[in-house]
Amino acid sequence: MKTTIQIQNLKCGGCVSTIKNRISDLNGVHSVEVNLERSTVFIEHEEQLKDQEIKKVLQKLGYPEVGENNSLGEKAKSFVSCAIGKLS
C-alpha cells in the first residue's frame, strides 16, 4: 500500500532525516521518501498499518498534516525534531 501525506513545518534535511527514521521504525513500513520542496511524505507499507497511525507519529514529531492544527507547540516540536535529525 502507498500513502502520501502533505505536512506542515518541514524546513530542511534535518527534518527529513528525523521523519524518515521515525516512520521507518513503524512495523509494516517498507520505504519512506520525503520531498522537501513539496512538504510531502511518501510511505510504502503493509495494509495493516493505517494512515492515521502514520499521521499520529508525524504530528508527535511536530509535522501535522496540511489542514490540521499547527499550533505554536507543533512548530516548536518540529524545531526539536529538526535539530535531532541534523545530529544523527
The predicted pLDDT at position 31 comes to 97
Long-range contacts of range 57-62, CB-CB < 8 Å, 24 or more positions apart? 57/22, 57/23, 57/26, 58/5, 58/7, 58/19, 58/23, 61/18, 61/19, 61/22, 62/9
Report pLDDT for 80. Answer: 81
Looking at residue 84, its pLDDT comes to: 80
Check pLDDT > 90 for residue 20: yes
Report, as an integer, the average pLDDT of 47-72: 93
When pLDDT is averaged across residues 34-53 and rounded to a whole number, the result is 95
Residue 86 confidence (pLDDT): 79
Residue 69 has pLDDT above 90, yes or no: no
